[in-house]
A and B are shown apart, each in its own frame.
Chain A
């Protein structure tokens, strides 16, 4: 009788969970916290909920839903040291599904190949309006300043000695506040860090309503936050008014793709897909069916699989270590520095320009479209209910997407082929 109960106990996940000294419990708690943030607090629910559920299902011993990370030679070893695959790159997809489980099949087919991030960028492009950016072109430059956090954290991470330069670049890209860009860069440079970097990137994006007000409070005065952009526009009217917005919006994505492709070819997978999605939107009725597909069906499907697969990479073995803690801390500084550098760029511009700019426009230079702009608009209306800066913030916010993709392109082109 005792033997039967013992066998039953061994059959369930309890035996491994109890033997793990609570590490699995930590992962379940993490999954529940992420689910709580997504469901109750509504922090990026479309992403956080699939990621959180992926974390949950990946951490049931015997469930075979956790993603195994291959080393540089393609070798996969489990926690007990057992070799599961000598070279995963020689395995067919059905063999991966059969030997390593469904989630590894999805991960190696959709994520490891770098397929999903550009697909999501295509959907993001379809949902992006470049109108505010084109109406306030000069403000777009703050989207460049806000990429400083990426490179500053890269430098500090390398200096700390905990990360090699490829890992540090993947950590720094969290400062771009762009999930697909962070994932795309990490897949290319440090795929073994994909789980903590994706989680940190999406968690901080979800925490934009907390982080931006904190950085703004530390760096801006009330007088600066009261700068009314519409009044400034009346005093110093913009010189370039669009007479035919539709034509400009159609030519713009084609022109930007061509220029970026010529200067930073490694960024084309992201910028090209972003602009392709946007072009389909701007053409209008002729491509409305394609626009509808990429902005709904494809985007939603990609988000579901990306979220689940990223969550499933967060297994006990991959997540509970000092590297992850370093990434969580470093990612926060990258994020904060990006916001602060955008703000300081505005302050410097205000020193030399008669037309004053609200520093909140610099704070939105990191991506996180459109949440960063909405948060900044809330901050400005708190000080002056008539001071709506949303449209102005969207200019630097959208250019931040281009800026972070270009920064990722630079990192990939410089570091992808170096051997450590």
Chain B
């Protein structure tokens, strides 16, 4: 009875270890394939542009107000002949 059980246990050991190795090798292969496919067909992470756009529009709003003030100042000083080309924050 014990001899049979030992034989069964040995069989289980071989089959079990082979199965675990095979499954993890398949998982490794699958992961590698997945990385290659995704790198080839979907390499960029899709990130939401909305917050950036919102932030940009907020900056633009502030800039528009500041630009209007600067334009008025430039027009006043140059007698309406000059115009603003570039505004740089110092």
Contacts and interface: CB of A to CB of B under 8 A. Distances in A.
Interface in A91-110: none
Interface string A143-157: 110011011101100
A244 B27 contact: no
B13 A151 contact: yes
Contacts of A168: 5, 9
Interface of A: 133-134, 137-138, 140-141, 143-144, 147-148, 150-152, 154-155, 158-159, 161, 164-165, 168-169, 240-248, 251-252, 255-256, 259-260, 263-264, 399, 402-403, 406-407, 410-411, 414-415
Nearest to B35: A240
A168 B2 CA distance: 12
Nearest to B16: A410
25 contacts: A141-B21, A141-B24, A141-B25, A144-B17, A151-B16, A154-B13, A155-B9, A158-B2, A159-B2, A168-B9, A169-B12, A242-B38, A242-B39, A243-B45, A244-B42, A244-B45, A246-B45, A252-B34, A256-B30, A263-B22, A403-B23, A406-B19, A406-B24, A410-B15, A415-B12
Contact of B20 (A147, A241, A243, A251): A147
Given A165-B12, A243-B45, A410-B20, 14 more contacts: A140-B31, A144-B25, A151-B12, A155-B10, A158-B5, A244-B38, A248-B31, A248-B35, A248-B38, A251-B34, A251-B38, A256-B30, A259-B30, A411-B16
A155 B13 contact: yes
Contact of B24 (A148, A151, A154, A399): A399
Contacts of A241: 35, 39
B28 interface: yes
B2 A161 contact: yes
A138 B24 CA distance: 10
A169 B17 CA distance: 14
A167 to B, nearest CB: 10
B20 A144 contact: yes
Interface of B: 2, 5-6, 8-10, 12-13, 15-17, 19-28, 30-32, 34-36, 38-39, 42-45
Contacts of B44: 243-244
A244 B12 contact: no
Contacts of A151: 9, 12-13, 16-17
Given A140-B24, A244-B44, A414-B12, A264 B19 contact: yes
Q: Tell me what chain B mostly uses at the interface: helix, strand, loop, or mixed.
A: helix
A144 B24 contact: yes
Contacts of B39: 241-244
B38 A247 contact: yes
A144 B27 CA distance: 11
Contacts of B23: 144, 259-260, 263-264, 402-403, 406
A252 B31 contact: yes
A396 to B, nearest CB: 10
B14 to A, nearest CB: 8
Contacts of B26: 259, 263
Contacts of B9: 151, 154-155, 158-159, 165, 168
Nearest to A251: B34
Contact of A406 (B10, B20, B30): B20
Contacts of B13: 151-152, 154-155
Contacts of A137: 28, 31-32, 35
Contacts of A147: 16-17, 20
Nearest to B22: A263
Contacts of A143: 24
A151 B23 CA distance: 17
Nearest to B30: A255
A196 to B, nearest CB: 20
Nearest to B40: A243
A38 B17 CA distance: 34
Contacts of A264: 19, 23
Nearest to B25: A141
